[in-house]
Amino acid sequence: MRCGGAVGLLPSAPLPTFELTLYLATTVGCHLYSFYELFKLSRIYEKNLDTEFGFEKGFFIWGFKKDPTDFEWSFWTEWVKKLLMWTLLGHIIISQVTNAFFPKFRTWLLMMYGMLACFITVGYKGLAVILLHLVISFTVAQLRVPALSWICSVLLLYSLQMDSLGKMKMRRILTSVPRMDHMCLLLGVVRIFFWWWLTESLLHFMYIHAIQHQETILESASYWILGGLAFAHTMFFYLKYLLLYGIPSIIMYLDGIEPPRLPRCTSSLYSFTGTWREFDVGLHRWLVRYIYVPLGGSQHGLLRMMFSSAMAFSFVCYWHGGHSFMLYWAVMNWVGVMIENILKMICSSSPAQEIIGRFLSARMQRRVHGALGSIATTLLILSNLVFICGNEVGRIYWNRTFIQARNILSVRQVAEARDLNKSCQVSECTFIR
């Protein structure tokens, strides 16, 4: 089986059950302990953080407050409660009623309702911008000139970055699929509510977003707390997008449209390549289809592959606003993907396979793969922290993880490195099964 990580071919020999159990127990134990340390830190600085950021009253009966400083989560949850929940519910009702009684008029009625929902949500100016974009894009597409279509798309995308217009990003996939049965629908709704509860719980027990703005805390915190904070940020990001993608996915299934797979858990990702392939599947397909492959991809040599990947990451950076921290994040991911692909090409060659097979057993190859995966995981988490928290937090983590660690290698850092290795081993085993 070919792997997207740091080694070319993933050996098929499984590791002993006892060894995998030890890895899993150690990984879970280290994560729970780092979360406990982060929970204690949140309690220590709760009053100071509350004074500076204005925590909200929590929904738990024992009095925990809620950290509201993640703008994206606060913005969308407020919109969902006030407006989006009802507009989405209206879409579901109209879609199901028209499908049952007025199938010939279903498309027209959904279009009219969609325009009404846009008008209610973003006002007449927002609706006018959406319609103008549709008209321009459709007109340019009729000319069938790829270069002109790209220029038009880039200019329209730039208009969405204007503060006066906000950000309205949409994706569509038109593959028809069988409709969900009632049990699958009920299970999907239960999962949505569970993810929401778990995400809200993180904001009550660990004030990760308020702490990220406190450089003095980050500079003095223990490595257990830094590790727990980094892992909590990535898990919160994953849960947040499970909800942002999960709710539309259920609605798309009800409409008979196949959505992309939901994001894969970040704790099971141990390579840059795998993260881009498995986290946002729809975005990955779009980048490969419309940027990477047309520009040459991997079929025209290493330099064309590097150029095609660079253009794909440049577009992602531009799509997210083109800020300086986005540029650093995009560059780090491009370098990570390139290194992994080059290593995969080297390790997949016949001489390398012969050397690896001569000196390493199949099980030892797995262990080496896990060790290399731990390095990729460390850098992947660092790049995600730059994306989520900004350049300053990324700089602090870089200094404390690599610069300070070069002078003083603590026992805790060794334990965390081993933990990442074991996490990669467990992730590999789970992914293959």
Active site amino acids:
320
Between CA 398 and CA 299 the distance in angstroms is: 35
Beta bridge partners of 57: 65
Q: Using an 8 Å Cβ cutoff, are 282 and 260 in contact?
A: yes
Length of the chain: 433
- The beta-strand segments (E) located in 60-217 are 65-66
Between CA 92 and CA 113 the distance in angstroms is: 11
Q: Which of 297, 376, 333 is nearest to 7 (CA)?
A: 376
φ/ψ of residue 232, rounded to 5: -65, -40
Q: Give the C-alpha distances (Å, rounded to integers) separating 31 from 104, 148, 275, 388.
A: 54, 50, 20, 20
Amino acid at 86: W
The token pair at 401 is 């993880």
Residue with tokens 């040599």: 301
Q: Which of 296, 342, 302, 334 is nearest to 315 (CA)?
A: 334
Amino acid at 209: H
Between CA 53 and CA 71 the distance in angstroms is: 12
Q: Which of 225, 232, 181, 179 is nearest to 202 (CA)?
A: 232
